[in-house]
Amino acid sequence: MESSVLIVSFGSQYVQLIARKVRELGVYSEIVSPDIEIEEIIAKKPCALIFSGGPYSVYEENAPKLDKRVYELGIPILGICYGHQLIAYEFGGIVEKSDKHEYGKAYLDFKPSDFFKNIPQHTVVWMSHADKVYTLPKDFESIGFSDNSENAVIKHKHLPIYGVQFHLEVYHTEYGKEMLSNFLFDIAKCQPNWNMKSFKEHKIEEIREMVGDKKVICAISGGVDSAVAAVLTHKAIGDRLTCIFVDHGLLRKNESKEVISNLTKLGLNIVALDRSNLFLEKLKNVEDPEQKRKIIGNTFIEIFEEEAKKYNAEFLLQGTLYPDLVESAGIHGSAKIKSHHNVGGLPEKMNLKLLEPLRELFKDEVRALGLELGLPKDMVYRHPFPGPGLAIRIIGDVKEEDLNILREADAIFIEELKKWDLYDKTWQAFAVLLPIKSVGVMGDNRTYEKVLALRAVDSQDGMTAEPSKLPYEFLEHVMRRIIQEVKGINRVIYDISSKPPATIEWE
């Protein structure tokens, strides 16, 4: 990839949005730690650097900072919020706590500049800061102002270094994407050469170089992530890839047969293993969701390491995505939310080397890559399904009886979504069996049975999500079918939580 942007993460909750916005403009972006060595920055040859926001104050003793030599490289730099304040502070300006904190909508006026090309005066921007730049350093000038920030946008007079106090990466900033575009193309002279065709070609070569003449086994689930990873790797190394599908007993109704049939049609070498008894035995009496994920992750690895010996494989291919890394605290500044079985759920020591060609991508980018690789549309747009399967959709202990109840209820929900032409309009939908019972009445009899939650969300990449506004008539219809057809459930609820504060999955 000839043109790329390094985004230095100082712990902002919006750092992923910055990465997405840059990629949407056709430039590859990579998130790095402020601990990155100056030599590594030089080696990566970025067309620009972007400093993210963060929860710190630049004048704090342990506030994260970069090697100051970064400002001598001649690479265009854009600082956002904390990054803006850091630039001013490092060049000798004064940053202090503001008398008036600024959160939410503000109006920006500005001087003529390439940064504001084709942007109207008094434009809406989104602020979120307690500190501000009071005194500019030498050789800097202010080119943008809000009611509370006289230095809302600053630039170096002689170097391509800019800082903005607001968050141009959020959609609340009306012309944020245009400002970012102006910085990338008019100021930094980046080239918009990031697309799935170039990524595919780059990754195929990278996989060939990494694997050499060795063999690879793939942990394949039938979901779009592992399927895309497998097809991509198959194009790179051909028959030296063996895909292993493990039925861990935690799949949805009829899923095993459907997955094997779909994957075989892709021309992949598929080995199917039924290890449901092994997984269910290990999960017996386990209620903690983190422990479930760890057990499932470790058991998968044990199976794959045993299978690898049969095929003389040295690499394990997984469909790990960027959101998996974020939620498993795989990048600087992100707090651990939960372990993903293919990231935080892995044992510390493994005999296999990991191959994760999709780890820089968001879900929508993986789907675009899938279409580029020729995967069928229904497979590419299949709803995400977690590696631990129904184990994390049964809250508490996983029992065979509860798995059967959940399978039937979930199948009804998905079937009706498709009938009502709602499946492709939601990003992910599923049922969750709760560890509570409620009193009900069926006929003339009292019942005391389980409660089922339905969950459907709209999202672009899984990093944030809003509850799908499904028609009430649809929800009522699904509720009646589930209660009438699935023995063991007498109450159905609909989860309307967004992410954040909730996660998409319940566990």
- pLDDT above 50: residue 345: no
CB 87, CB 115: distance < 8 Å: no
% pLDDT > 90, the chain: 70
Sign for the CA dihedral angle at 294, 295, 298, 301 comes to negative
Bridge-partner residues for 441, per DSSP? 446
CB-count burial class (<10 Å; 0-12, 13-18, 19+) for 158: exposed
- Would you place residue 156 in the very low, low, confident or very high pLDDT band (cuts 50, 70, 90)? very high
CATH topology of domain 400-494: GMP Synthetase; Chain A, domain 3 (3.30.300)
Which pLDDT does position 320 carry in this prediction?
86
- pLDDT above 80: residue 309: yes
477-497 per-residue burial string, b: 16 or more CB within 10 A, e: under 16 = ebbebbbeebebbbbbeeeee
DSSP 217-283: EEE--SSHHHHHHHHHHHHHHGGGEEEEEEE-S---TTHHHHHHHHHHHTT--EEEEE-HHHHHHHT
Average pLDDT in the 274-286 region? 95
Which pLDDT does position 102 carry in this prediction?
67
Please tell me which residue, 257 or 323, carries the higher pLDDT value. 257
Using DSSP's 3-state secondary structure scheme, residue 353 falls into strand
- pLDDT above 50: residue 48: yes
Residue showing tokens 């980018």: 365
Catalytic site includes residue 39 = no
Q: Which of 47, 84, 129, 169 is catalytic?
A: 169
CB 342, CB 221: distance < 8 Å: no
Q: What angle do CA 369, 317, 308 make, to 5 degrees?
A: 155
CB 23, CB 365: distance < 8 Å: yes
CATH of 196-381, one of 3.40.50.2300, 3.60.20.10, 3.40.50.620, 3.40.50.300: 3.40.50.620
CATH 3.40.50.880, applies to 4-187: yes
Bridge-partner residues for 272, per DSSP? 245
- Would you place residue 349 in the very low, low, confident or very high pLDDT band (cuts 50, 70, 90)? low
Q: Which of 167, 332, 340, 341 is catalytic?
A: 167
Average pLDDT, the chain: 90
- Would you place residue 394 in the very low, low, confident or very high pLDDT band (cuts 50, 70, 90)? very high
Which pLDDT does position 65 carry in this prediction?
94
| Tally of CB atoms within 10 A around 182 | 20
Which pLDDT does position 79 carry in this prediction?
97
Catalytic site includes residue 167 = yes
- pLDDT above 60: residue 409: yes
Which pLDDT does position 327 carry in this prediction?
52
Task: Return the H-helix or E-strand segment holding 19.
Answer: helix 15-24
pLDDT, one tens digit per residue, over 141-152 is 999 999 888 999
Amino acid identity at 88: A
Helices within 94-240 (DSSP H only) = 176-181, 196-211, 224-237
CB 288, CB 327: distance < 8 Å: no
CB 153, CB 144: distance < 8 Å: yes
Which pLDDT does position 334 carry in this prediction?
46
Using DSSP's 3-state secondary structure scheme, residue 416 falls into helix
Task: Retrieve residue 103's tokens.
Answer: 């959160």
pLDDT, one tens digit per residue, over 104-131 is 789 999 999 999 999 999 999 988 877 8
Domains 196-381 and 400-494 equal at CATH topology level: no
Please tell me which residue, 321 or 93, carries the higher pLDDT value. 93
Using DSSP's 3-state secondary structure scheme, residue 94 falls into strand
416-453 per-residue burial string, b: 16 or more CB within 10 A, e: under 16 = bbeeeebbeebbbbbbbbbeeeeeeeeeeeebebbbbb
Average pLDDT in the 236-244 region? 95
- Would you place residue 341 in the very low, low, confident or very high pLDDT band (cuts 50, 70, 90)? very low
Which pLDDT does position 340 carry in this prediction?
42
Task: Retrieve residue 358's tokens.
Answer: 């999709």
Please tell me which residue, 79 or 198, carries the higher pLDDT value. 79
Catalytic site includes residue 169 = yes
β-pairing, 216-219 vs 241-247, is parallel
Q: Domain limits of the chain?
A: 4-187, 196-381, 400-494
CB 213, CB 54: distance < 8 Å: no
DSSP 307-334: HHHHHT--EEE----HHHHHHTT-STTP
349-387 per-residue burial string, b: 16 or more CB within 10 A, e: under 16 = eeebeebbbbbbbbbebbbbbbebbebeeebbebbbbbb
Which pLDDT does position 18 carry in this prediction?
93
Average pLDDT in the 238-264 region? 92
Average pLDDT in the 163-189 region? 94
- Would you place residue 460 in the very low, low, confident or very high pLDDT band (cuts 50, 70, 90)? confident
Average pLDDT in the 360-368 region? 87
Which pLDDT does position 338 carry in this prediction?
43
Which pLDDT does position 336 carry in this prediction?
43
- pLDDT above 90: residue 282: yes
Which pLDDT does position 323 carry in this prediction?
66
- Would you place residue 2 in the very low, low, confident or very high pLDDT band (cuts 50, 70, 90)? low
Helices within 373-505 (DSSP H only) = 377-380, 400-419, 472-485
pLDDT, one tens digit per residue, over 57-113 is 999 888 999 999 999 999 999 999 999 999 999 999 998 887 777 677 899 999 999
- pLDDT above 80: residue 333: no
Q: Which of 81, 190, 218, 243 is catalytic?
A: 81
What Cα–Cα distance (Å) separates residue 263 from each residue in 90, 94, 242, 379? 54, 60, 12, 10
